[in-house]
Amino acid sequence: MLLPFLGALMVWTGLLITGPAAARWPLSAEGSVNAWFAGHRTGAATAVSEWLTLIASTESVIGVTLLSVVGLVILPRVPRWWEAGFLGASVAVQSVLFLIVTLCVERPRPGVPHLDPAPPTSSFPSGHAGASLALYGGLATLAVTGLRGRWRYAAAGVLLVIPLAVGASRLYRGMHHPSDVVGGLVNGACVLLLMAHALLPRERPAPAGVSRSGSPLSASRSARPAVVGGQGARQVAVVRPPLACSRQVADPVRGHGPAQPHRRAAEVGDGRTPLR
C-alpha cells in the first residue's frame, strides 16, 4: 500500500527539482559538480567507470537477479522462496517506479560531454543507481540475515559500496546530476525497506526441545531442570507415567546435574506416590 505513495513522492520531488527549486542552492551548483568530474577524467578512471556502468546496466542487473533467485531456490537444502521473492520483487518494483517517474518528470542530461549514449528516459532519477542498490543492497540484506559469522558484515559492506561507486561513475561520465543519483539511491533504498518488511520472514523462537537449526536438543540439555528464583527462570516438572517409564530411567533424569536448593521436580506416579 505504501508503494503508490512512494511513487507519488518521487514524482513530486522530481517536479520540485526541475521547477521551483532548480535555481536554489544546492541544485544551482550541480552544474559545477558535473563540470569538475568532466575536467578530471583520466584513462584509468574512465575504464573503472565503464566497468561500473556495465555491472549496473539493465542486462547485467536482470542476469544477476535471475541467477541469484535461482540459486536461492535450488542451492540450499530447503528452498528459500521468501528471500528469492524479496530480491526479485525489489529489483522489479524499483524498475517500475523508475519508469513511472521518468514519464512524469522531464529533465535533460547535464551540459557536459557524455561518455555513454543518452537513453530517451529523463535524467531524474538515475536508473543505474537505483537498480544497483535494489540488487546489491538486496544481496547485502540477505547476507546479513541469512549467513553466519562476522565475515557476513564484510560481504554486505562490499556489496553496499557498489551502488555508491555506480552513482559516482554516473557523475563522472556526465550522465546524471548529483540530485539524480541521490533520487535513484533513495528510490532503491525505500523499495528495499518496503519489500523486506513485506516479504522477509521474521525469526521465530524454536519450539521446546528443538534447536534453531531444527535439530532436536540432546536429552541431557532439554531435560535439565531450571533454577527457580532467578529473573526469567521457570520451574520444570518431570512427569513419569508408571507403566511406560521405569524408575531406572526416571531417576537419572530427575537427578541430572548438581543439586540446587530451589530446584523442584514433580513426579506423577500411580496415584499413591506424593508429588515431590
d(CA 99, CA 103): 6
pLDDT digit string, tens, across residues 259-271: 444 444 444 444 4
pLDDT at 203: 61
Cell 528464583, located at residue: 229
Q: What residues have CB less than 8 Å from 243, skipping those under 6 apart?
A: none
Instruction: Band the pLDDT of 1: cuts 50, 70, 90.
Output: confident
Mean pLDDT across 151-158: 94
pLDDT digit string, tens, across residues 204-247: 444 444 444 444 544 444 444 444 444 555 666 767 777 667 77
